[in-house]
C-alpha cells in the first residue's frame, strides 16, 4: 500500500477529524486514524465510539488497503512540515514510512480490521440545509445546554423538524434558548436530541460555508454529510421536556434597550455581586433602568442608571448576571427586548433587529429571588 499526498492538505483534514478523539480512550485502537485507500481516493476516519467522522481525500495511488496510524504522532509530525508532497508506504517490519523532501519517518501501524465500523442508518428521514445556517443554529443554542449527567436529555440540543420549519432548543433549567427557521422545512416531522461534542465539531467545520448539509436521522442515530465529509453519531436517548410550557405567554412589561450598553453595564455591576449567587437587581421605572449588585460579606456594591424604552408597571427583578451576560453575548442585534410579567416569572429576551427573514430567537432566563 503506497500513496502520495500534499502535507498541508492532509494536515487540514486530519485536524478536523482529530477533534473527535478523546484523550483517554478505553479502546487503544481509538487513538488512531483509520486510513482506507481505494486507488486515488483515501478515506480517513476517527471515532470515539459514540461519533465517527470521516473525510475523503484525493491522493496519488493505484493500490488498495486499510490500516490504523497513531493520531497524535501523525498530527505532531505533519504540523512541522512546510507544504510538500509526502509519500506513505508500508515497510516489511509492520511500520509505515513517510518520506518527505528531507527525510524519512517510520511509525508502527495497526490493522484496519480492528477499527470499529461506522453505523449504517436504517430507513432514515432526511433534511437538507446550508452549512452556515446549521452552524449558526448550533452556536445560538449550544451554550444554554446543561452539563448535568443525571439529566442527559438536557445536556444536548433538541432538533425539532416539521413541514412548517426547523426549531433548535437547549436548556439547563435556568436558561433556555429556542432558535427557529421558518424559511427552511423538512419533508416530515421528526424530533431528536444531539449531543454537544459532535455539535461543537460541526459548528467549527461549517462556520461560514455555503456548503449544503444533508442530515439523515432515525430513532437512534444521525448522519451529517457535506463536501467530502460524513459524521455519524449516536443520539441522546430520552424525551425532551415540554419547553413550550415554561415560556410565559402574557408579558405586559416590556423593556427595549441597546444591547451593547446593557451588556457592558451588567458586566461591570456583576463584578460587585455575591460570588456564589452572581445576583444583580434590575429596577425599572418610567424610562429609567437601574442595575445594582451587592456583596454584603465584603461590603462591595455597585449601581448604574441607564435610559431605556419601557412600557409596563414599575418593577424590580433579580437575575443571575452570568446567564444574562451569556445570552446578551450570543446575540448580534443592536437592540434587545426584555419582556417580563412578574418578579418570580421568567424574563424573555429577544433581539429586535439583525435577524434574517424567517429567523426567530427566543431566550428565556429564570429570575432569582431578591432579598429586599
Which of 244, 279, 310 terminates a domain? The answer is: 244
Domain membership of residue 119 (yes or no) is no
Q: Is the pLDDT of residue 56 over 90?
A: yes
* Residues with Cβ within 8 Å of residue 3, at least 6 apart in sequence: 37, 42, 59, 60, 61, 63, 87, 88
Same domain membership, residue 254 and residue 219 = no
Same domain membership, residue 110 and residue 168 = no
Looking from the CA of 180 toward its CB, the CA atoms found within 13 Å total: 11
Q: Is the pLDDT of residue 84 over 70?
A: yes
Which of 79, 114, 149 terminates a domain? The answer is: 114
Cα separation of 359 and 189, whole Å?
Answer: 19
Position 295 scores a pLDDT of 94
Same domain membership, residue 192 and residue 219 = yes
Contact by Cβ (8 Å): 198, 183: no
Condensed to tens digits (0 to 9), the pLDDT of residues 230-282 reads 999 999 999 999 999 999 999 999 999 999 999 999 999 999 999 999 999 99
Same domain membership, residue 138 and residue 87 = no
Same domain membership, residue 227 and residue 148 = yes
User: How many domains in the chain?
Assistant: 3
Position 145 scores a pLDDT of 97
Q: What is the mean pLDDT of residues 152-162?
A: 96
**321-329 and 259-270 are packed helices; what angle lies between their axes, rounded to 10 degrees?**
150
Q: Is the pLDDT of residue 289 over 70?
A: yes
Domain membership of residue 15 (yes or no) is yes
Same domain membership, residue 206 and residue 144 = yes
Nearest residue to 22 (alpha-carbon basis) of 55, 54, 46, 58: 46
Domain membership of residue 305 (yes or no) is yes
Same domain membership, residue 174 and residue 147 = yes
- CATH number, domain of 29, equals 3.10.150.10
Same domain membership, residue 255 and residue 232 = no
Q: What is the mean pLDDT of residues 85-90?
A: 97
Q: What is the mean pLDDT of residues 164-181?
A: 96
Position 372 scores a pLDDT of 61
Same domain membership, residue 234 and residue 146 = yes
Same domain membership, residue 260 and residue 220 = no
Nearest residue to 194 (alpha-carbon basis) of 144, 232, 235, 225: 235
Same domain membership, residue 316 and residue 261 = yes
* Residues with Cβ within 8 Å of residue 227, at least 6 apart in sequence: 209, 211
Same domain membership, residue 251 and residue 238 = no
pTM passes above 0.75:
yes
Which of 114, 144, 162 terminates a domain? The answer is: 114
Domain membership of residue 120 (yes or no) is no
Q: Is the pLDDT of residue 179 over 70?
A: yes
For 149, the domain range is: 125-244
Distance set, CA 176 to CA 48, 63, 215 (Å)? 29, 52, 24
Position 208 scores a pLDDT of 87
Residue 116 is classified by DSSP as P
Amino acid at each position: 500500500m503506497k500513496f502520495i499526498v500534499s502535507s498541508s492538505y492532509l494536515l487540514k483534514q486530519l485536524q478536523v477529524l482529530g477533534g473527535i478523539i478523546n484523550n483517554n480512550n478505553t479502546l487503544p485502537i481509538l487513538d488512531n486514524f483509520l486510513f482506507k485507500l481505494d486507488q486515488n481516493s483515501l478515506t480517513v476516519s476517527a471515532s470515539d465510539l459514540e461519533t465517527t467522522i470521516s473525510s475523503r481525500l484525493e491522493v496519488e495511488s493505484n493500490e488498495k488497503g486499510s490500516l490504523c496510524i497513531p493520531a497524535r504522532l501523525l498530527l505532531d509530525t505533519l504540523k512541522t512540515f512546510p507544504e510538500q508532497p509526502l509519500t506513505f508506504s508500508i515497510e516489511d517490519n509492520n511500520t509505515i514510512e513517510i518520506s518527505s523532501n528531507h527525510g524519512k519517518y517510520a511509525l508502527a501501524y495497526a490493522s484496519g480490521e480492528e477499527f470499529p465500523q461506522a453505523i449504517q442508518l436504517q430507513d432514515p428521514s432526511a433534511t437538507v440545509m446550508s452549512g452556515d445556517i446549521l452552524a449558526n443554529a448550533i452556536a445560538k443554542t449550544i451554550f444554554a445546554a446543561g452539563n448535568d449527567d443525571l439529566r442527559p436529555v438536557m445536556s444536548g440540543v433538541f432538533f425539532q423538524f416539521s413541514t412548517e420549519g426547523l426549531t433548535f432548543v437547549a436548556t439547563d433549567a435556568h436558561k433556555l434558548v429556542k432558535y427557529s427557521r421558518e424559511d427552511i422545512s423538512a419533508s416530515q416531522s421528526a424530533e431528536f436530541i444531539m449531543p454537544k461534542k459532535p455539535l461543537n465539531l460541526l459548528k467549527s467545520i461549517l462556520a461560514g460555508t455555503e456548503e449544503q448539509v444533508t442530515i439523515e436521522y432515525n430513532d437512534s442515530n444521525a448522519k451529517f454529510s457535506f463536501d467530502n465529509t460524513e459524521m455519524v453519531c449516536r443520539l441522546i436517548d430520552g424525551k425532551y421536556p415540554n419547553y413550550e410550557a415554561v415560556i410565559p405567554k402574557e408579558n405586559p412589561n416590556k423593556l427595549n434597550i441597546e444591547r451593547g450598553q446593557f451588556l457592558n453595564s451588567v458586566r461591570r455591576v456583576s463584578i460587585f455581586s455575591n460570588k456564589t449567587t452572581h445576583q444583580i437587581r434590575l429596577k425599572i421605572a418610567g424610562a429609567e433602568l437601574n442595575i445594582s449588585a451587592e456583596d454584603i460579606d465584603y461590603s462591595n456594591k455597585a449601581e448604574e442608571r441607564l435610559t431605556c424604552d419601557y412600557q409596563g408597571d414599575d418593577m424590580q427583578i433579580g437575575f443571575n448576571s452570568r446567564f444574562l451576560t451569556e445570552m446578551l453575548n450570543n446575540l448580534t442585534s443592536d437592540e434587545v427586548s426584555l419582556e417580563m410579567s412578574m418578579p418570580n416569572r421568567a424574563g424573555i429576551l429577544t433581539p429586535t433587529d439583525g435577524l434574517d427573514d424567517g429567523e426567530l430567537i427566543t431566550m428565556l432566563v429564570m429570575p432569582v429571588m431578591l432579598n429586599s
